[in-house]
């Protein structure tokens, strides 16, 4: 496909990849686990073992202001478990400021070569000081200096501003002597909903969503099924 500069509207309506065929449907019987963390672990491991996926832990993080104006960016998942999904960032960045005024967050993984997507929604909370210290100290020296050089999301005059700051910090803090800046640390997104999506070529994509049940919700085992560890699951129309 070649696009002309003078094209005002680019029509990519025909751009369409073949997804999985009918023999590879994702049904309730294919669930590895009846709770979302075990299911995520199984899909994440498959993504890690797929050579075409260079960064299986890259995910999109959506946040919103107090008024609900959304913003999204990529971050790296650095851990997950029953308690939630963890990433690290600058607390004074745009995402950090938005999470302070509105802790609702959404995470999306898209593993293109597996035709799979996972959508997580939950509440973000800061991880402990000990956790942030531990992770900061485990990072390579250059990354530690890099995160100190940048007042993330602020406007700067040029790249040179960063280089000068980096040089200053390299001279001031030799390797092994850097303390984590207070404005840098972890967030844990505690999920209340996790959806597993698998694309099918006939466009009858499979979507199975785990969620926390509503108070006094009746589990009918027709639309809503009882999962494990306090989760229920249901199929969504594609
Ligand atoms: C693949 C990928 C991974 C990234 N991982 C992180 C990360 O783990 N933490 C982070 O703060 N920024 C990460 N970034 C940069 C962010 O996408 C973003 O530019 C930055 O965090 C500032 O976002 P904000 O201004 O919305 O706060 C990553 C970018 C990419 C493309």
| DSSP per residue, 69-118 | -EEEEEEE--EEETTEEEEEEETTSHHHHHHHH--EEEEEEEEGGGTEEE
The alpha carbon of 71 and the centre of ligand 1 are apart by a number of angstroms equal to: 12
Confidence bin at 97 (pLDDT 50/70/90): very high
Torsion from C-alpha of 61, 185, 92, 62, nearest 10 degrees? 10
The alpha carbon of 93 and the centre of ligand 1 are apart by a number of angstroms equal to: 10
Asked if the structure places residue 169 within a domain, the reply is yes
Tell me what the pLDDT averaged over the chain comes to.
Answer: 94
> Which domain covers residue 164, as residue numbers?
22-235
Whether 4 has a pLDDT exceeding 70, the answer reads: no
The alpha carbon of 92 and the centre of ligand 1 are apart by a number of angstroms equal to: 13
Nearest ligand 1 atom, CA 78 = 8
Nearest ligand 1 atom, CA 55 = 1
pLDDT, one tens digit per residue, over 30-87 is 999 999 999 999 999 999 999 999 999 999 999 999 999 999 999 999 999 999 999 9
Asked if the structure places residue 3 within a domain, the reply is no
For atom 24 of ligand 1, the residue with the nearest CA is: 94
Report the C-alpha gap between 78 and 196 in whole angstroms. 20
Give residue 17's pLDDT.
78
Whether 3 has a pLDDT exceeding 80, the answer reads: no
Asked if the structure places residue 33 within a domain, the reply is yes
Ligand 1 first shell, C-beta below 6 A: 55, 58, 71, 73-76, 87-90, 93-95, 152-153
Asked if the structure places residue 145 within a domain, the reply is yes
CATH of the domain at 217: 2.30.110.10
The alpha carbon of 74 and the centre of ligand 1 are apart by a number of angstroms equal to: 5
Nearest ligand 1 atom, CA 94 = 27
Which residue's structure tokens are 């938005």? 98
For atom 6 of ligand 1, the residue with the nearest CA is: 75
Asked if the structure places residue 136 within a domain, the reply is yes
For atom 10 of ligand 1, the residue with the nearest CA is: 89
Q: Which of 119, 120, 107, 114 is nearest to 53 (CA)?
A: 114
Asked if the structure places residue 212 within a domain, the reply is yes
Give residue 236's pLDDT.
98
Give residue 12's pLDDT.
85
pLDDT, one tens digit per residue, over 8-33 is 688 888 888 777 777 789 999 999 99
Asked if the structure places residue 135 within a domain, the reply is yes
Asked if the structure places residue 5 within a domain, the reply is no
CA distances from 51 to 80, 113, 223, 230 (A): 22, 9, 37, 35
Domain count across the chain: 1
**Total-model pTM:** 0.93
Task: Please state the rounded mean pLDDT for residues 141-145.
Answer: 96
């Amino acid at each position: 496909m070649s696009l002309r500069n003078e094209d005002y509207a680019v029509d990519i309506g025909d751009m369409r990849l073949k997804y999985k065929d009918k023999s590879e449907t994702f049904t309730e019987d294919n669930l590895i686990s009846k709770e979302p963390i075990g299911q995520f672990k199984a899909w994440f491991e498959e993504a890690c073992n797929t050579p075409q996926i260079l960064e299986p832990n890259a995910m999109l993080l959506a946040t919103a202001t107090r008024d609900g104006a959304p913003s999204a960016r990529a971050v790296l998942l650095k851990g997950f478990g029953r308690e939630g999904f963890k990433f690290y960032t600058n607390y004074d960045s745009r995402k950090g400021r938005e999470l302070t005024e509105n802790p609702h967050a959404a995470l999306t993984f898209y593993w293109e070569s597996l035709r799979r997507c996972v959508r997580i929604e939950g509440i973000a909370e800061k991880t402990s000081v000990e956790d942030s210290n531990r992770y900061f100290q485990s990072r390579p020296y250059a990354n530690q200096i890099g995160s100190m050089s940048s007042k993330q999301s602020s406007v700067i005059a040029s790249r040179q501003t960063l280089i000068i700051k980096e040089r200053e910090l390299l001279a001031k803090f030799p390797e092994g002597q850097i303390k984590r800046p207070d404005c840098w640390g972890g967030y844990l997104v505690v999920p209340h909903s996790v959806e597993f999506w698998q694309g099918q070529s006939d466009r009858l994509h499979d979507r199975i969503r785990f969620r926390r049940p509503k108070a006094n919700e009746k589990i009918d085992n027709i639309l809503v099924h009882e999962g494990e560890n306090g989760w229920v699951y249901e199929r969504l129309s594609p």
